[in-house]
Structure 1
Amino acid sequence: MQNSAPIKLSDLTKGITTALRQAFGQGRFWVIADVSNHSFKAEKGYHNFELVEKDTASSDVIARVAAKAWGNGTRSITAFEEKTGQKFKSNIHVLVLVTVEYHPVFGISANLLDIDTNFTLGVLEQQRHATLQRLVTENEFIREINGQYSTTNKQLPLGRVIQNVALLTSSISAGAEDFRHTLMHNTFGFGFRIDDYFVPVQGDKNAAVFLEKLIDIYKSGIPYDAVVITRGGGAQSDFLIFDNYRIARAAAKFPIPIITGLGHQKNQSLTDMMVHSQTKTPTKAAELIIAHNREFQQEVNAFQKDIIIGAQLVLASHKNTIATAKQQVLHGARDITLSQNAALSSLSGALARHTQALLNSRSRKLARLTANLSAELRLNLQKNSNALALTKDKIHRSPKALIKNRQAKLDAFKATVKLMSPENILKKGYAMVKVSGEVVSSAAGIEKGMPIEVIFAKATLHTTVHEKITHDGTGTNL
């Protein structure tokens, strides 16, 4: 082979430039490659990196081209990061639109013009799906049931009232402030204790720190009712930490109910799918807790209402019992009085008739004797007649006295009955004691801690026996 005449290096590079222009011209090419050795100069908006292709079997690099992006290329990368949530960095698989350039000093390079977000989203979704499958396959406490995921954390019961809350969030998160403000200024006056556990919640690289904070909550010894994780704002890429396998796994088995409010209206992270309750925003997380406590308050109010109604019914029942007893006493006293009056009237009539008959008989005998007696005897008879008149007068007065005496006794009996009525006894400062709805007259069956019912003239007390002191009863003598 005949050697050509020597040429200058610059002539060679010119030839390469001409050849590349003829081969590629102003052509644009969609290239699938991995990003490597990426750096970014923010002040200039300039990306430097390499596009590499690796052998699928050995992972050895089989092609490498230097690449750069600025201007429209940088704006395309920014849009890509916002839409995918994926930072443009080394070790990501991308589909990029490039032109080929050659520089006599720096050599061949690719100039990035655009990047296909849908391609990367597909890759990310594949990675996310693989992580989800790994969570189910490698952990017995995570199960898929009809497209939903059952975890240890999901099965934990929320306390009847949530008061002690561990807040896992960024120290600069506006969402955390929204959560705190909504919770502490609720319209029902519920009180809460909120302990902050600050942690960076942006970027997959902070997963280890995030896990350490979860462990700190567990080891704190504080009986938290719930752990709330908030993000609230930030770039889409900040959301990727919650698709991390280790964080999702830890959340799934955490022994305290976890509530998320990650501030994303569209996507559901793997962590969201593993925890007890997922909400879209920190404010919604606070509203969920308030609604939970409100439900308990309404149950208590309903129970209180039932107790009041029951007490009113019992009180009304006892009032009816007392009123019935009062009527029975009054009716009994009236029946006794009427019976005694009838007996007295019958006795008085019989006595008067008997007395009159006796007097008539004696008078007739006296008249017959008078006709046959001498004057002296008549004188004696006159004396006896006078005595008899006195006796007659006494006899006439005797039934009236007897009736008056019986009437006095009857009045005394009526007064006694009236004084012994429950109404009068209660008015005098005494009280009626009931145990289990039964009136008791002795403390023999009453013990400390038993509920009793004390009925006064115009009120009923429901109380509990705190102390029982026995005595001989002399202290109540009048």
Structure 2
Amino acid sequence: MPVKQVFPLSKLTEAIENVINRHCSKVVWVKAEIVKLNHYPGTGHCYPDLVEKKDGRIIAELRGNIWKSNFDLINEKFRNVLNEDLRDDMTVVVQATVTFHSVYGLALNILDIDPEYTLGELAKQRAEAIKKLTAEGLFEANKQQLLPMLPKTIAVISVNSSKGYQDFINVIESNPWDYKFHTRLFPAILQGERAVSTITAQLKKIAKHRKVFDAVAIIRGGGGEIGLSCYDNYQLAKEIAQFPLPVLTGIGHSTNETVSELVSYKSFITPTKIAEFLLQEFHNFSIPVNDNMVRIKNAANLLFERQETQLARLSSSFGYLADRILNREKNQLASHQQSIRVETRNLIRQEASELNNLSTSVELLSPKNILKRGFSITRKNGKVVSNVTVLQPGDLVENEFFKGKASAEIKNTEIQ
């Protein structure tokens, strides 16, 4: 039985390292996706996790090494070509050699990365996002939202420390017309791949309170044009496109608009331009109102002047007419007074004549005159006797004559 030969692990890895480094030291171009960049600012080195996917499944995986000197050069090239830093979730073509380390294992020693290829991949993703949103009927959806005539309550997706956000707030709050706005900040990461998830999360939060807000402003500023490819992301653009409120974007760049900007209600080069747009909306409402107020005031003043003139004219006419009426009424009153005096005197004379006649009649009918003509008044017990039936033989009665009285005793009575 042969003697078993046992090698130390280090010997085995050293042998593998010698083989690989001797036969695989050729520089090659490799296409892969950076899943995670693993950049360490302290050392400046970078250890990206590289994968190849097929139908969403990883079919190959390898670690990479980018030493600080190479990383700085590569990242500068990406900034110049893509306006982006090298980051996670980028499809790249790298120039590298295969290396094996006895401790760290197999890796790609990356010497360079072609940013032009990545630029083409990003453009391809952008075009695919636009095509997909158009096919779904969402590309113009947010532009159909209704922006109120006075958009006063704005939900702002930004970062409090962002210069763009500070510029926006300063313009809004310091406007010389004293227009009043209400803003609410919803903090989010504004660049890189994490921007997609945080901005989307804040949009969903705002959507739950959409009745409170008039519009949403996505504001990014002060960061140049680095890290904007996240705004070409299909999921973020779709969230903006189908959002139930108008979305205003001001992400601070001067190159071609991102997909998120294209599908938004309105896009602006800077956050300041969003603020100026909102102020202009107030102008568009207030200027016609002020003009109409001036016109109404002028028309009212003219109407008052006309009414005053007409009133003065009527007052003058009324004064003349009143004098005529007053004189006529005075004359009629004087005539009535004269008639009353005449009628009164006639009535008094008539009443006096009737009174005299009555007085004469009364005088003629008085008891004195009757007694004077030979009549007498008989009284029994002080009461006038007008009926003989009240008398009985033997009753004492008193007779009153024109001159004097006499007592008598009833002898007999006779009823006629």
Normalising by structure 1, report the TM-score. Answer: 0.56
Task: Please point out which of 152, 162, 168 is paired with 1:179.
Answer: 168
Change (3 A) 1:241 1:313: same
Alignment of 1:30-41 (within 5 A): 30-35=29-34, 38-41=37-40
Task: Give 1:292's aligned residue.
Answer: 281
Rounded Cα–Cα distance in structure 2 between residues aligned with 1:323 and 1:287: 53
SS of residue in 2 equivalent to 1:172: coil
Task: Give 1:88's aligned residue.
Answer: 86
Cα offset for 1:126? Answer: 0.5
SS of residue in 1 equivalent to 2:254: coil
Change (3 A) 1:228 1:111: same
Task: Please point out which of 228, 233, 236 is paired with 1:239.
Answer: 228
Whether the aligned pair in 1 keeps the contact of 2:122 and 2:229 (CA below 8 Å) is: no
SS of residue in 1 equivalent to 2:310: helix
1:42 aligns with 2:41: yes
Alignment of 1:190-269 (within 5 A): 190-220=179-209, 223-234=212-223, 236=225, 238-269=227-258
Change (3 A) 1:208 1:415: same
Task: Give 1:413's aligned residue.
Answer: 324
Cα offset for 1:136? Answer: 2.2
Cα offset for 1:102? Answer: 7.5
Whether the aligned pair in 1 keeps the contact of 2:160 and 2:166 (CA below 8 Å) is: no
Change (3 A) 1:159 1:218: same
Change (3 A) 1:197 1:157: same
Rounded Cα–Cα distance in structure 1 between residues aligned with 2:127 and 2:97: 34
Which of 317-326 and 193-202 deviates more?
Answer: 317-326
SS of residue in 2 equivalent to 1:234: coil
Change (3 A) 1:290 1:20: closer
Rounded Cα–Cα distance in structure 2 between residues aligned with 1:192 and 1:127: 38
Cα offset for 1:180? Answer: 0.9
* Deviation string, structure 1 residues 291-340 (Cα, Å, up to 9, x no partner): 1111211011111011012212322332343355467668x87xxxxxxx
Rounded Cα–Cα distance in structure 1 between residues aligned with 2:56 and 2:161: 44
* Deviation string, structure 1 residues 135-169 (Cα, Å, up to 9, x no partner): 2223x4x2xxxxxx421x32223222122222222
Whether the aligned pair in 2 keeps the contact of 1:14 and 1:104 (CA below 8 Å) is: no
Whether the aligned pair in 1 keeps the contact of 2:157 and 2:185 (CA below 8 Å) is: yes
Change (3 A) 1:82 1:416: farther
SS of residue in 2 equivalent to 1:88: coil
Whether the aligned pair in 2 keeps the contact of 1:81 and 1:236 (CA below 8 Å) is: no
Change (3 A) 1:58 1:228: closer
1:73 aligns with 2:87: no
Cα offset for 1:42? Answer: 1.9
Task: Give 1:301's aligned residue.
Answer: 290
Task: Give 1:132's aligned residue.
Answer: 130
Alignment of 1:306-321 (within 5 A): 306-321=295-310
Task: Give 2:345's aligned residue.
Answer: none
User: How many residue pairs were aligned?
Assistant: 316
Change (3 A) 1:416 1:294: farther
Cα offset for 1:267? Answer: 3.8
Structure scoring higher RCO (CA < 8 A, sep ≥ 6) equals 2
Which of 312-321 and 270-279 deviates more?
Answer: 312-321
Alignment of 1:99-178 (within 5 A): 110-138=108-136, 140=137, 142=138, 149-151=139-141, 153-178=142-167
SS of residue in 1 equivalent to 2:38: strand
Cα offset for 1:87? Answer: 5.1
Whether the aligned pair in 1 keeps the contact of 2:191 and 2:228 (CA below 8 Å) is: yes
Which of 89-98 and 270-279 deviates more?
Answer: 89-98
Whether the aligned pair in 2 keeps the contact of 1:66 and 1:110 (CA below 8 Å) is: yes
Rounded Cα–Cα distance in structure 1 between residues aligned with 2:75 and 2:229: 17
Change (3 A) 1:69 1:416: farther
Cα offset for 1:104? Answer: 8.6
Cα offset for 1:43? Answer: 1.3
Cα offset for 1:79? Answer: 1.8
